[in-house]
Amino acid sequence: MVSDKLNIDVSEILDARGLYCPEPVFRTKIALEKLQLGNVLKILADDPAADDDISRWVDRNGHILLQKNQKNNYFEFLVQKGK
């Protein structure tokens, strides 16, 4: 379960709104590669597939999904670089 009550310092923001599969995941990968271990990336995405795609990709690649929220018309993810 992902909490929405966390106070987390974000290192970088990726705005992937307006992009569709596979771009949000691809850009998430690139953005996380640039961060240091333990840093947090905030991802904004409005592709309906992003909910599952980003969550699964993060888990499969050893990163940590700290938070996931659905806003009015987009998703917001907080991902900590795990490896």
pLDDT > 80? residue 3: no
> What pLDDT is stored for residue 8 in this prediction?
83
The predicted structure's pLDDT at residue 15: 98
In this predicted model, what pLDDT tens digit does every residue of 5-62 receive, in sequence order?
Answer: 567 899 999 999 999 999 999 999 999 999 999 999 999 999 999 999 999 999 999 9
Flag whether pLDDT at 4 surpasses 50. Answer: no
Provide the pLDDT for residue 36.
Answer: 96
> How far, in Å, CA of 66 to CA of 11, rounded?
13
In Å, how far from its chain's centre is CA 21? Answer: 14
- Catalytic, 21? Answer yes
Quick one: which of 65, 69, 68 has its CA closest to 80? 65
Catalytically annotated residue among 11, 12, 17, 21: 21
